[in-house]
Structure 1
Amino acid sequence: MADMKLYHLESCPFCILVSRKLDELGLKYEKIDVPAPRHLRTEVIKVSGQPLVPVLVDGNVVLDDENKIIEYLESKYDRKQERG
């Protein structure tokens, strides 16, 4: 099982952006489908303190905004940027 988890909705365009970035970087992660009604997203709320998706958990790092998630992934895992 992957250490990285992505809480998402299949139809969420912001979640799709994050999934594509994870796939582009070749990272292994577990996709966790969440319910559409926000009040039913108890696991997301427990992990991130709020009901919105996407939420990425990478070890002790928890991010809940697609732009922050993508920036984090690029800075930590994108080897192309290191070559400049």
Structure 2
Amino acid sequence: MSVTLYRLEACPFCEFVVDKLDELGVEYDSVWVEGAHSKRNEVKEVSGQRQVPVIVDDEYGVTMSQSARIYEFLETTYGDADSPAEVDTDF
């Protein structure tokens, strides 16, 4: 699997990313992390910090945090530019 999502149970920011991955049909592995920041060593090893969500996309060589940035990356990388949601109607 080339996409891995580090996430926390009941984290709304993580669910925001999960919803986008599912919407785009991107297959991914979930890595569930500890609730306490001090115990998120696996996240820190991957991304240099302990905040979630963190996505690692091996195919594109991307590791990033912050749900809004991840959302934008997913939309740009995996989204369909021809879908109605992406068509620019401002002429």
Percent same amino acid among aligned pairs? 43
2:48 is the alignment partner of 1:49: yes
Cα RMSD over matched residues?
0.6
- 3-state SS, counterpart of residue 18 of structure 2: helix
- TM-score of the aligned structures, taking structure 1 as reference length: 0.93
4+ long deviations beyond 4 Å: none
Show the counterpart of 1:20: 19
Q: How many residues align?
A: 81
- Letter of the structure 1 residue corresponding to residue 9 of structure 2: E
- TM-score, normalised to structure 2's length? 0.86
Q: Distance in 1 between matches of 2:68 and 2:76?
A: 12
Q: Which has the higher helix share?
A: 1
Q: Which runs of 5+ in 2 are unaligned?
A: none
Q: What is the one-letter code of the residue matched to 1:14?
A: F
Q: CA deviation at 1:50?
A: 0.4
1:1-84 to 2 correspondences below 5 Å: 2-59=1-58, 60-79=61-80, 82-83=81-82, 84=87
State the structure with more CA Rg: 2
